[in-house]
Amino acid sequence: MSTPVLVYRGLVDIEPTIDAMQAFTAARSTDGGTRPDEIWLCEHPPVYTQGLAGKPQHLLDAAGIPVVQTNRGGQVTYHGPGQVVAYPLIDLKRLGIYVKEYVYRIEHCVINTLGHYGVTGHRVPGAPGIYVRLDDPFGHAALESLPPRERLGVAVPDPFRGLGKIAALGIKVSRHFSYHGVALNVAMDLRPFGGINPCGYASLATVDLATLGVQVEVADVAWQLGQRLADHLTP
């Protein structure tokens, strides 16, 4: 089987992009499994997107930014220029993996991409996406293992203490075909994240590579991430 085709779409509106992903995915169910996988790389104009389970209370103040309902998983997030959005359109059956492994591979590719620029990315159990230590983004120490923030009504340590979210993940799988994907913050206006509880977590800090002192072109990060996704999503 061939490596997924990388398609760089530039700055594109999110609604026609979602429509195109859905059309691409629908067509795959009738092509006998012959169509190659693709990975779309793009940026979006400012927009908030809600996942299927998105709770309206997590949208605090849209301040005129459009809000788009989607059929991906997860809660509300923000997209804007300076953020690489990767949409892997993958036949998971042909790849031979299930959703949990698929999510792990996407996160692994984000971590490796950050590592290319010297930044250490981390997973937080139960909170999809990738995080960095705000006080030491280039250090390699593992995160402490912390329980969920509340258990049986008893407050426990905040698992996001000292962390900033640098990549958000939200996917959809239909008849074993994936779409939607992952957004990695490169050099963007982070203020609109203040209008939401990012991914449903109140007061969760959001960060980008530029804030961490890494000055790099968005297109370069898109290429690095796209290549890693293609390598790890090839049968």
CATH, residue 62: 3.30.930.10
Give mean pLDDT, residues 203-218: 96
Supply the pLDDT for residue 152. 47
Residue 148 lies in a domain: no
Domain, as residue range, for 214:
5-117+164-232
Supply the pLDDT for residue 156. 54
- The predicted-structure confidence for 24-53, as pLDDT tens digits, reads as follows 999 998 877 788 999 999 999 999 999 988
Task: Tell me how many domains the chain contains.
Answer: 1
- Rounded Cα gap, residues 205 and 114, in angstroms: 18
Residue 28 lies in a domain: yes
Residue 144 lies in a domain: no
Supply the pLDDT for residue 53. 84
Supply the pLDDT for residue 210. 98
Write down the residue that tokens 């998105």 correspond to. Answer: 54
199 catalytically annotated: yes
pLDDT of 127 over the 70 cut: yes
Q: Which pTM value belongs to this model?
A: 0.93
Residue 129 lies in a domain: no
Supply the pLDDT for residue 145. 66
pLDDT of 147 over the 60 cut: no
Using the 8-state DSSP alphabet, how is residue 165 labeled?
E
Residue 73 lies in a domain: yes
By percentage, how much of the chain surpasses pLDDT 70?
A: 94
Please name the amino acid found at residue 122: H
Give mean pLDDT, residues 92-99: 95
Supply the pLDDT for residue 128. 92
- Rounded Cα gap, residues 123 and 54, in angstroms: 21
Residue 128 lies in a domain: no
Residue 63 lies in a domain: yes
Per-residue pLDDT band for 91 (boundaries 50, 70, 90) equals: very high
Residue 77 bridge partners (DSSP): 49
Count Cβ atoms within 10 A of the Cβ of residue 165 and give its class: 0-12 exposed, 13-18 middle, 19 or more buried. Answer: buried
CB 83 within 8 A of CB 18: no
Q: Of these residues, 42, 132, 196, 199, which one is catalytic?
A: 199
Residue 182 lies in a domain: yes
pLDDT of 78 over the 60 cut: yes
